[in-house]
Structure 1
């Protein structure tokens, strides 16, 4: 989990610095025949620019998410949960760093977004981490994989469940 988080956090930081140096909001750089654009945007809201101007809210949510996941993380005993937590923590922390240290002020900073696909809002690697990590969480949850690596189907049956089933059949 720590390795995934550190790699993504470093990649997010480095790519944002490159974006700040080489890209602009008024003159996007195209790649892959226009499928991908590099457009510099400073986002004061959340995903899809929802809640613009409410940076304090997103800062608070990111702090709560990171702290909660770090508190729960010692219970992780399986790679899928370690990777998913690493991605979400790094993604939240990457954008949290922007909120804390970028203009206009601490806790109100704007997130540096720079990747754009057709018909999609501009985003960054931290956003990718949150989305991919959340998708892994949903996948693991739907598969019944617990943090400790066991599956819900492996759990012992609830006491009395067999008896209730047999009673129901006899009625």
Structure 2
């Protein structure tokens, strides 16, 4: 029996076909933020996919989760730890919802879950970044308490930079 409600799960090799279906819906490229997909990842074959999933699960610098409903991959979200160059550029959390699943509040829900996880891990804040033209993502971040720190240019275009701070218990 499968659940017809969304869940956040660790990447799973058993969802190879479901992930490929989501990937195909996005179209060519590596633009599904939240999945940790690199140009060098070979995800078409079962062995390549399993190797990619194993890399994601073993990555101590990031906590990857897939948004899954009834074994359908709806999106991905990643919580990056630390303050390295990539986090400064891309933020602590990246996420993407496949086109057919957008407009259901999944991004807002998943972001809320990962913000709670960040707080449980003892992070005092997270930085989130989205394209300046991505009003849907900006609204998602703002619904979860994101405070706009500014809009600036990058080699990839203008981005909005947000911060979510967590209350520190005394």
Give the TM-score of the pair, scaled to structure 1.
0.25
Task: Give the TM-score, by structure 2 length.
Answer: 0.25
**Bigger relative contact order (CA 8 A; separation at least 6):** 1
Task: Tell me which protein shows more strand as a share of its residues.
Answer: 2
Larger Rg: 1
